[in-house]
């Protein structure tokens, strides 16, 4: 940590693709008490974009140069393709630096556990960027549950549906190598599963249909996951890039009433269009942000905004979903 408590937390961001440029970079630079000190990317176009958007940051070509300057930083954010999450997370911890890892934290449960164990042994912060916990629709559902506004819950439905019927062969998320952890289950499923578990607790059983529908697809592009929680609550989760007409983003069914929400939270679109937290037109950002929680953890010792063990559980559920889909049967957890 910076020696003076008034000094900003100096953050090194590894990767400046979609995750780094649209999410992490803007959120870090707009969080009070944080400074985006370094960006690591070797791609010329991304370096040019990073220089334009964050002229105060030092640009490095590779991570080895970052480890040589480890003492100049207080936090590392890993926003690379999924196959690099574990090795870069471990390298950051070995360099003595706390770590934020984009979701999914690892391609396997075993990899996630390695990260958790290493962070615990070194007494360093490790947390996972499960940013959808701060979406307005999710926070609304949490409030409705806390108020018992709908009565006993029968079913929670949640969807991330898009219309992308053509395979983008150049995208790493479209590659079938398991080490890439591509496909919708690892990408969008990591969010939907995390939200469902956050609302209703760990599931007792998992059933899934994980399909490749587009011609030439190497990864899953149409997915359904059903979780059975305590109290007989069911979560039904859909992920698809083949939804020309999209269903409700969330639907919560109770014995007295129901809640339904269409459309995504506005923050992702706002960030992708160049808006930033704190802009006059931002307006609908939840007061609690992920990186505010990270700053509090580093300075005050509060719990991290996302317990990495939650993300390990998410990986266990994803692996159970893959097993269920392969065998076409319900898988019992625990």
- Scanning the structure block, which residue is given the tokens 């160049």? 274
Specify the domain boundaries for CATH 3.40.50.720 within the chain. 9-130+287-303
**pLDDT at residue number 1:** 57
Which residues pair with residue 260 across a beta bridge?
251
Give every residue of the chain whose pLDDT is below 70, as ranges. Answer: 1-5, 265-288
* Cβ count within 10 A of residue 10: 16
Residues in contact with 329: Cβ distance below 8 Å, sequence separation at least 6, in sequence order = 207
Task: Name the token pair of 191.
Answer: 């969010």
- Scanning the structure block, which residue is given the tokens 């100096």? 10
Does residue 25 have a cis bond before it (omega within 30 degrees)?
no
Phi, psi of 70 (to 5 degrees): -55, -40
> Which of 292, 282, 286 lies closest to 27, judged by CA?
292
Q: CA angle, corner 10, sides to 5 and 15, nearest 5? A: 160
Residues in contact with 270: Cβ distance below 8 Å, sequence separation at least 6, in sequence order = 282
**Half-sphere exposure (Cβ direction) of 94: Cα atoms closer than 13 Å:** 11
DSSP H or E run through 37: strand 34-40
Q: Residues 198-213: pLDDT tens digits? A: 999 999 999 999 999 9
Task: Name the token pair of 64.
Answer: 């080895």
Residues in contact with 241: Cβ distance below 8 Å, sequence separation at least 6, in sequence order = 161, 162, 163, 164, 165, 184, 214, 221, 222
Q: Check if the beta carbon of residue 308 is closer than 8 Å to that of residue 119.
A: yes
Q: Check if the beta carbon of residue 214 is closer than 8 Å to that of residue 268.
A: no
CATH code reported for the domain at 9-130+287-303: 3.40.50.720
Which residues pair with residue 225 across a beta bridge?
208, 237
Sign of CA dihedral 257, 133, 83, 53: positive
- Fold observed for domain 133-276+314-332: Dihydrodipicolinate Reductase; domain 2 (3.30.360)
Residues in contact with 323: Cβ distance below 8 Å, sequence separation at least 6, in sequence order = 331
pTM of the model: 0.91
Specify the domain boundaries for CATH 3.30.360.10 within the chain. 133-276+314-332
């Amino acid at each position: 940590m910076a020696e003076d408590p008034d000094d900003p937390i100096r953050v090194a961001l590894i990767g400046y693709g979609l995750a780094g440029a649209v999410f992490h970079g803007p959120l870090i630079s707009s969080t009070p008490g944080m400074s985006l000190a370094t960006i690591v990317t070797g791609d010329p176009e991304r370096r040019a974009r990073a220089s334009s958007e964050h002229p105060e940051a030092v640009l490095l070509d590779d991570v080895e140069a970052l480890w040589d300057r480890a003492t100049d930083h207080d936090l590392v954010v890993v926003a690379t393709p999924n196959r690099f999450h574990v090795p870069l997370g471990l390298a950051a911890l070995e360099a003595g630096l706390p770590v934020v890892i984009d979701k999914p934290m690892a391609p396997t449960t075993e990899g996630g556990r390695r990260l958790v164990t290493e962070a615990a042994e070194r007494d360093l912060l490790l947390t996972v960027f499960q940013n959808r916990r701060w979406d307005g629709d999710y926070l609304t559902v949490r409030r409705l549950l806390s108020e018992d506004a709908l009565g006993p819950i029968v079913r929670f439905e949640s969807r991330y549906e898009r219309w992308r019927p053509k395979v983008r062969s150049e995208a790493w998320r479209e590659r079938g190598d398991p080490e890439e952890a591509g496909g919708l289950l690892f990408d969008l499923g990591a969010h939907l599963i995390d939200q469902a578990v956050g609302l209703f607790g760990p599931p007792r059983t998992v059933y899934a249909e994980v399909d490749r529908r587009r011609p030439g697809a190497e990864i899953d592009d149409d997915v359904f996951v059903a979780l059975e929680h305590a109290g007989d609550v069911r979560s039904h989760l859909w992920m698809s890039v083949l939804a020309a007409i999209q269903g409700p983003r969330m639907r919560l069914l109770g014995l007295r009433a129901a809640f339904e929400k269409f459309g995504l939270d506005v923050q992702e679109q706002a960030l992708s269009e160049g808006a930033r937290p704190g802009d006059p037109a931002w307006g609908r950002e939840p007061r609690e942000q992920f990186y505010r929680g990270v700053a509090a953890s580093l300075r005050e010792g509060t719990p991290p905004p996302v317990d990495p063990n939650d993300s390990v559980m998410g990986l266990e559920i994803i692996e159970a979903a893959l097993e269920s889909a392969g065998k076409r049967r319900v898988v019992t957890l625990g």
